[in-house]
Structure 1
Amino acid sequence: MVFNTRPGTRGARQPSAGWAFRWFNKLMARRIRRKGGGKFLGFNALVLTTVGAKSGQERVNPVGWFLGEDGNRLIVASAAGAAGNPAWYYNLAAHPDRVRIEVDGRTIAVVAEQLHGEERERAWQQIIAASPRFAEYQVKTDRELPIIRLIPR
């Protein structure tokens, strides 16, 4: 279970961490919880709860997900094609066994695992077929967008 994707040298602007971004994340997480799932920016959505890599505090982010070939959920640490990985990627790397998701009206404890090699490539092809937006994100940056499998504990 290796989380080893380094930031790139080029990419889109990193989604902001300002008050408006935090407000929007809270609003979307509340909406996903209220509806028991649903859509977020056109994706199937879940609420991802991680433990901060530095702070140790719980962090909540709405995230789009895809069904993996093994039946587990997959998420992409795209940051909309930014050069850097999203903060939640580093939280998963630091504490892959202290993760929860809220989806379909349930809270599920999961273990996060980054995909590599052939397994990642198969998942990537499935994801860009379902959502070509991710192929556009990949073109914007020189880092390989991490794909994370969420396995129920």
Structure 2
Amino acid sequence: MTASEQVVDSPAGWVANHIRRYVETDGAEGHEWRPGVFTLLLTTRGRRSGKLRRTALIYGRQGDGYLVVASQGGDPKHPAWYLNLLDEPLVRVQVGADTFTARARTATAAEKPRMWSEMARIWPAYDDYQAKTDREIPVVVLERA
């Protein structure tokens, strides 16, 4: 990923607006999305298009790394960003004003219960999303590369 490549933001209008404000203000607007609920920006490379794709996600912390949940609101299919990072785990992350390259990986079966619990504490709806789908919703670990 190079800084000069054009990035395509989420096609969802409210998410695109959130990302634009986040980027324009270095996270001063948008980092804390709701009281006590913080978001980061994740940029992946499209597995089919090759384009850089950016979305905003609620995050938690895991040591020096970050946790995000590939919930898609409990949809039966994984979100595109998750499928993209399975193909190319090197991603760009922005947390507030801090932008860095990270390696993404799916939490292991041993790690996931603790990580899921942490993420559901931050955003309780994750439990509802899991209940409405047969798909096992992954927790993703983002570690600085």
Normalising by the smaller structure, the TM-score range is 0.7 to 0.9
Pairing of 1:132-151 with structure 2 (within 5 A): 132-151=124-143
Q: Deviations over 1:100-148 (max 9, x none)?
A: 0111212110000100212111101111122211111111111111100
- Given the alignment of the two structures, is residue 30 of structure 1 paired with residue 24 of structure 2, yes or no? no
In 2, distance between residues paired with 1:85 and 1:25? Answer: 18
CA contact (8 A) 2:64 2:143 kept: no
The answer for the alignment partner of 1:59 in structure 2 is 53
Structure 2 equivalent of residue 130 of structure 1? 122
**What is the alpha-carbon root mean square deviation over aligned residues?**
1.7
Q: Does 1:84 align with 2:77?
A: yes
**Would you say how many aligned residue pairs link Structure 1 and Structure 2?**
132
For the pair 1:94 / 2:84, whether they are aligned, the reply is no
Any conservation in 2 of the 1:49–1:58 contact (CA below 8 Å)?
A: yes
Q: Using the alignment, how far apart are the partners of 1:136 and 1:35 within structure 2?
A: 32
Relative to the length of structure 1, the TM-score reads 0.79
- Higher RCO (C-alpha under 8 Å, 6+ residues apart): 1
Structure 2 residue aligned with 1:115: 107
8 Å CA contact 1:46, 1:102 repeated in 2: yes
**Structure with a larger share of its residues in helix:** 1
TM norm structure 2 = 0.83
For residues 13-41 of structure 1, the C-alpha deviation after alignment (integer angstroms, 9 at most, x for no partner) is xxxxxxx9433222111122234332235
**Distance in 2 separating the partners of 1:131 and 1:23:** 22
Greater mean deviation of Cα atoms: 75-84 or 25-34: 25-34
Does the aligned pair in 2 maintain the 1:45–1:64 contact within 8 Å?
Answer: yes
| 1:104 aligned to which of 96, 101, 107 | 96
More strand by share: 2
Mark the runs of 5 or more structure 1 residues left unpaired by the alignment: 1-19
Do 1:32 and 1:45's aligned partners in 2 also have CA atoms closer than 8 Å?
Answer: no
Q: Which amino acid aligns with 2:15?
A: N
